[in-house]
Amino acid sequence: MSKILDKRYSELLEQEKRFIKRVVYFIHAYTPRPWWRVVIPFNFLIDYFSRKKEIQAFSDSHFYLKQIALSMAYKDAESGNPGQSNSEMQAELRDYWMHMQKIESRELYEHLQQWMAMLKKHYLKLLLVQERYYIPLLQKAYSSRQEYKAFLTELTKLEEKIDQIILEYQNDKVLPAGYIQRKQKAFQEIRERDLREAFGEE
C-alpha cells in the first residue's frame, strides 16, 4: 500500500509543480509587453529568466502551502485516520505565518486555514482512489462533473477572498497593476481545461 500511495503522492506533487509553471506562463501571456521589449535582441532570454524567477517566487508561497496540505493528506491516508494531521497542519501554517507572511491580518490567516483544509480534503480523496495518473484520479474521486466543478467554485471563491485582502494591504509598488486579475484568470483557464479533460464539455 505504501508504494502505491507514494506513487499517487508523487503524481499529485508533480501536477502541482506543473500547475505553477502553467500559471506563470499564462500570466506572462496576458501581460502587455513594453514597446522596447520588441526591439531588444534575444528578448526571449529576458522572458525566460523573468518566468524562472516568478516560478520560484510563486513556489515559495502558493506551492509551499499546497505541499503542506498534500503531505498532511498523505499522513491521513497512510494512517487511515482522516483528520489525524489537522493539528500538525495548523502548526505548519503558524510557522509559515510567523516567518514568511508579511501581512498582519487575522482574516487572511483564517482564510488560509480554510483553503488548506479544503485542499487537504481534496488531496485525500485523490490519494484513496485506485488510480495512478491525475485525470483518472479526478474521474474516480469525484462522482460527476458537477461535484468537481462545485469544489473548484468553492475553492475559487476562497482564493478570491484571500487575493482581495492581499490587494488591500499591497499596492502597485509591490504587485504589478493587474497581476492578481491575471493570476485569477490563469487559475480559471487551467482548471477549466482539467475539468473538460476529466469530465468533458458541459
Of residues 86 and 33, more confidently modeled: 86
Indicate whether 57 pLDDT > 60: no
Indicate whether 101 pLDDT > 90: no
Cα–Cα distance between 173 and 176 in angstroms, integer? 7
Cα–Cα distance between 75 and 82 in angstroms, integer? 9
Joined grid coordinates for residue 48 = 525566460
Q: Under a CB-based contact definition with an 8 Å cutoff, are residues 126 and 141 in contact?
A: yes
* Residue 174: pLDDT band with limits 50, 70, 90: low
What is the C-alpha R_g of the chain?
18
Q: Which residue has the cell 482548471?
A: 191
Cα–Cα distance between 19 and 48 in angstroms, integer? 17
- Collect all residues with Cβ–Cβ distance below 8 Å to 111 and sequence separation of at least 6: 158, 161, 162, 165
Name the amino acid, one letter, at 179. Answer: Y
43 to 26, 33, 56, 123: CA distances (angstroms): 18, 11, 20, 39
Cα–Cα distance between 46 and 192 in angstroms, integer? 30
Mean pLDDT of the chain: 83
Range with the poorest average pLDDT among 42-56, 102-116, 155-169, 171-185: 42-56
Range with the poorest average pLDDT among 6-10, 34-38, 137-141, 177-181: 34-38
Domain count, the chain: 1
Q: What is the mean pLDDT of residues 174-179?
A: 67
Global pTM? Answer: 0.84
pLDDT digits (tens, 9 = 90+) for 117-160: 999 999 999 999 999 899 999 999 999 999 999 999 999 999 99
Structural domain range at position 155: 2-199
CB hemisphere CA count around 56 (13 angstroms): 6
Cα–Cα distance between 86 and 117 in angstroms, integer? 8
90 to 9, 31, 85: CA distances (angstroms): 20, 35, 9
pLDDT digits (tens, 9 = 90+) for 14-54: 999 999 888 888 877 766 555 444 444 444 444 444 545 55
Whole-number pLDDT of residue 161: 92
Whole-number pLDDT of residue 39: 45
2 class by beta-carbon count within 10 Å (0-12 exposed, 13-18 middle, 19+ buried): exposed
Whole-number pLDDT of residue 52: 52
Closest among 108, 117, 2 to 70, alpha carbons compared: 117
